[in-house]
Homo-oligomer: A and B are copies of this chain.
Amino acid sequence: MSAKIKDVARVAGVSVTSVSRVINGGEHISAKLEKKVRRAIEELNYSPSLIAKSLKRNKTNLIGVIIPDITSNFQASILSYIEDTAGKKGYNLLISNIVEDTDKVVKYLNIYQEMRVDGIILMHGKMNEDIRTFLERTTIPVVTQADLGIPLTSVHIDDYQGAYEATSYLVNNGHRRIAMITGDLRDISAGKHRLEGFLAACQHYQIEVDSSMIKYGDYKINTGYRLMNELLDEGSPVQAVFAASDEMAVGAINCLHDRGLSVPGDVSVIGFDGSQIADIIKPALTTIRQPIKQMGQVTVELLLDLIESVNDTIDAGKFKRVVLPHHLHVGSSCRKSDSDRERN
């Protein structure tokens, strides 16, 4: 139905080789020939098939992205920078929203493989055997935004350290009964490291933390609300809560408000991520800010490096771990004590 390169060649009265050359540029061609071809393209409203081109060139300019939850503002923001950076380099994004369901990952990875994407970006932090097997076997360049315990190029912050700092901040402002609303146990990267950072800080400051003070969530607002409720119902009174995501922190704050407790008057709340939601909520959320823009950009840049060096035997098997800086952003959701002698 639509015109092919052959049709253009016929109408222009030249060979398909020449048509291909004027479209792709590079080689020298006479102005006269070019004009004829351009006219024919215009006349036929010709649009070259990237599918045929991809098959021939063995390159699709496609990047597959696995994202845990696109409705998370933090993740959507990273994705927007990934899209922007990739788009400027001529790459398009194939996106799979796994809704935190790890079982879907392998299914999509296989589709990416069959689509012959040039590279894959993994934003999730959970693992299973199928994923591991796929990643070990594939020859497609991969960059992950988590520490999956596999020799893979990755870019992320130091989650352990971030959690340690968040907890220390609470301690240094006079809190002793600190609860944590953490991530999924199966999240072996951010989730695991943030919990470990919390526990390490508690140990350092000789703060007792029993299991009733730790609730496992999934980074979502509603979960933060529900777990805060459990915390208030079950345990001894808490002075502060460290949530492993801003969204759970917001859920916790809303729960506290609904139960007539003031933040930070009665309970301090600190979040993690530094997404937009932290700024719009009242009180403004104190949180660990991740460098969102940089994470998106660096991820794509590293992936493109891998894609372009895929034939260099020199770089074969090399991978990088990039740890980006985070920082504590102080809002108004934590009570401040005057005696914070040990800040930072």
Chain B residues whose C-beta falls within 8 Å of the C-beta of A128 in the assembled complex: none
Q: CA–CA, A83 to B2, complex, Å?
A: 28
Task: Choose among B60, B96, B99, B257 the residue that contacts A282 (Cβ–Cβ < 8 A).
Answer: B257
Chain B residues whose C-beta falls within 8 Å of the C-beta of A79 in the assembled complex: 70, 97
Of the listed stretches A25-33, A51-59, A207-215, chain B binds A51-59
Q: CA–CA, A293 to B221, complex, Å?
A: 19
Asked whether A1 lies within 8 Å of B139 as measured between CB atoms, the reply is: yes
Q: CA–CA, A116 to B79, complex, Å?
A: 24
Min C-beta distance of A284 to chain B, whole Å: 10
Q: Is the CB of A95 closer than 8 A to any CB of chain B?
A: yes
> In chain A between 258 and 297, which residues have their CB closer than 8 angstroms to a CB of chain B?
276-277, 280-282
Closest to A107 in B: B87
Asked whether B71 lies within 8 Å of A76 as measured between CB atoms, the reply is: yes
Q: CA–CA, A70 to B84, complex, Å?
A: 11
Interface majority SS (helix, strand, loop, mixed), chain A? helix
Of the listed stretches A41-49, A314-322, A334-342, chain B binds A41-49
Given contact pairs A47-B113, A73-B71, A282 touches B280 in the complex (Cβ within 8 A): no
**Per-residue contact bits, chain A 87-125, to B (CB 8 Å; 1 contact, 0 not):** 100001111110100000000001101111000000000
Task: Choose among B97, B139, B250 the residue that contacts A84 (Cβ–Cβ < 8 A).
Answer: B97
Chain B residues whose C-beta falls within 8 Å of the C-beta of A204 in the assembled complex: none
Min C-beta distance of A146 to chain B, whole Å: 21
Task: Choose among B2, B87, B97, B116 the residue that contacts A51 (Cβ–Cβ < 8 A).
Answer: B116
Chain B residues whose C-beta falls within 8 Å of the C-beta of A92 in the assembled complex: 94, 96, 111, 115
Chain B residues whose C-beta falls within 8 Å of the C-beta of A84 in the assembled complex: 97, 99
